[in-house]
Structure 1
Amino acid sequence: MPEPASASSAIFGPMLRAFTWLYDTWRSKSKETLEERRRAYAQHFEPAYKRLETIHANYLTSFQKFYDLCRKFETPPLDLLSQFRQYGMEYTTWREDLRNFALVSKELAKGFKKADEKAAIEEFRQALLDYFSVTIASGESHHWPSWFSHFIGSFEEHVREGRSPWDDDYAVTGVADPKGTFIKRLRAAYETELPAKWSKVSAAKAQLQIVFNK
C-alpha cells in the first residue's frame, strides 16, 4: 500500500511542476528570440556591412593611387580616371541602398524591446551615415568630394586633349591654391578621415554582432 503524500510534497509538487513548465516555456521563447535576433543580423546588418566593406577597400586603393600621382603633379592615366567614373556609377546605387538602409533601420529598431538591441542598431545606423559624410558633400557645406568630382572631370578632359591637367588654374573653385588644397584634402580623406569612419563602422558592427548573438 503506497504511503500517503506528505504535506510538503502536496504543496511543492504542483509548484515544482509549474516552475518547470515556466522555465521550459521561457527557455523555448528565449531560444526563439535568439534565433530571431540572429536571423535579423544575418539578413539585414551583415550584408550592409559587407557591401560597405567592399566600397571602403576600393575607395582607399584608388584614392592612394590617385594621390601618389597628384602629389608629384603627374597626369593620372585615363584608365584610373575611368575607374573612378565606373566606381561613381556602380556605387551610386550601393550608397543609396546603404543610406536607405540606415533610415529604415531606425524603424526596424522599434521592433526590438531591449535597450541594448536598440542602442546597437542606432550606433550602427549612425556609423553608416557618418561614413558617407566624408565621401558625399552635404547640401549645406562643400567638402572635398565635390572638389574631387570637379577635378576628375577636368583631368579626364585635359588628358583626352593631350594636355596636362595641372596646367589649368581651376579658378572656378574660388579657393586660393586649389591644386594644393585639393591634394591635401585627398590625402586627409584616404589617410585619416575614411579609416577613422570605417573604424567606427567596424566597432558598431562588432557590438551589434555581440548583442544579436547572445
Structure 2
Amino acid sequence: MDVSTCELCGEAAGGRYLCDRHTVQLALRLTALPALDDELALHLVPARTGFGEPVTGRGAGPRSPINESVLDLMEANRAAKVVHSRRVDVQRARWPEHSAPPPDGLAADCRWLGMELEWILSSYPAAGEMAREMHELERELRSLGADTGPRREGLCVAVTDDAGTVCGAVLSRGSDRVVRCRWCKTEYRTEQDLLLLMHYQPKEVAQCQQPR
C-alpha cells in the first residue's frame, strides 16, 4: 500500500496513513469522545417546553418520556466497546506477544490510543479505518444531543510538568462562561487568559474548527 497519501482524502501524508489535517481531527476526537459519552445521561429525558421557554431534560419530571435512542446507546455501551476493540487490535499489531488488555473504560482507552498515535500513523495499516470509526462515534453521539452541553474551545495550552509538556486536552466553556480543562483542571477566566489561549492554539486545530 502506498502510505505517502492520506487514506481518507488522498492528500500528501509524508509517509503516514493520514495527512496532518485528519491526524489532528483524530487526536481531537479521541480527546472529546469521553466527554460526549458522559453527556449522554443529560439527554436521557428529552427537553420539553413550558410557557414558551425551554426546560432541560433534568427538570422534566418523572412523567417525561425517555429518549430511547440515548437509552439504547447507553445500555449497549457502544462507544466504550468500539474504542476498546480498536485498542486491542492496535496492541495486537504492535505487540503480538502480549495478551489483550482488559476493558479499562472509554477515557482510559482513548488516552492510550492517543499516546500511541505516532506509531498508529506510521505503522498501523488500519489507521484510516480507525479514523472513520472515531468520526462515526462522534457523529452518533452528537446526533443524539450530546453536543448541546459545554461548548468546545480548542486545546489546553497549560504546561503540566517541569519538562515543558503541554496538556493538549480539549477545552469546554461551562454555563458560567469559564473555559476549563477536564484533564489538568486549568481555568481560563480573564481576557488575558483567553488571548493567550487563542495565540498558542496549533494552526491545524484552527483549520479543523472551520465548517466542513
TM-score by length of 1: 0.29
Q: Which has the higher helix share?
A: 1
TM-score by length of 2: 0.29
Q: Which has the higher strand share?
A: 2
Larger RCO, structure (CA 8 Å, separation 6 or more): 1
Whose Rg is larger? 1
